[in-house]
Amino acid sequence: MTTLALIRDMSKRKVGEYKHSLETLEKMRNARLELIKSGKMFGPNHPSWKGGRFLNSNGYAKIWVGRDNKNADKDGYVYEHTLQLQKYLCRSLSKEETGHHLNKIKDDNRIGRGGNLQLLSKHEHQTYHARRQKSQLRDLSKRHLIKWGQLWRWLF
């Protein structure tokens, strides 16, 4: 970035208000960009790091395990319920296995006696939710909250 571009970026501040010279600011920015490009500025090394656990937009807790983990997504995160099940079973989950939250609270990842997680095959999990949705729609139809024609369209 040139000196003129830096001056344009400082639209709200005057040049004299900075404690560093423009050349120093440019060197600092270039050094930071090199760190980002080299891949050394992610996870705990990133300045915005907040501990490695967050709730995604669907409400599931995700944990940072690093990009080299085989179960991690492109950013190095794994669903917390997957990690809990793997730890409990002492093995990795296959691609055909998934965790199901019994009480429908997506970030409640207790396991074992009185726990909330259940290991299901993906087919069993899809079948469970499809049957549950059909029964809820039938209930709405019986209570006359939805017409049978609408129910028929939703089911098929």
Domain limits of the chain? 3-41, 53-155
> Residue holding tokens 């074992």?
112
How far is residue 57's CA from residue 59's CA, in Å, rounded to a whole number? 6
Instruction: Please write the tens of the pLDDT for every residue from 69-101.
Output: 888 888 889 999 999 999 999 998 888 998 899
CATH class of segment(s) 53-155: alpha beta
Q: pTM of the predicted model, to two decimals?
A: 0.61
Instruction: Please write the tens of the pLDDT for every residue from 1-55.
Output: 555 555 555 544 555 566 778 888 888 888 878 877 776 667 777 777 788 898 9
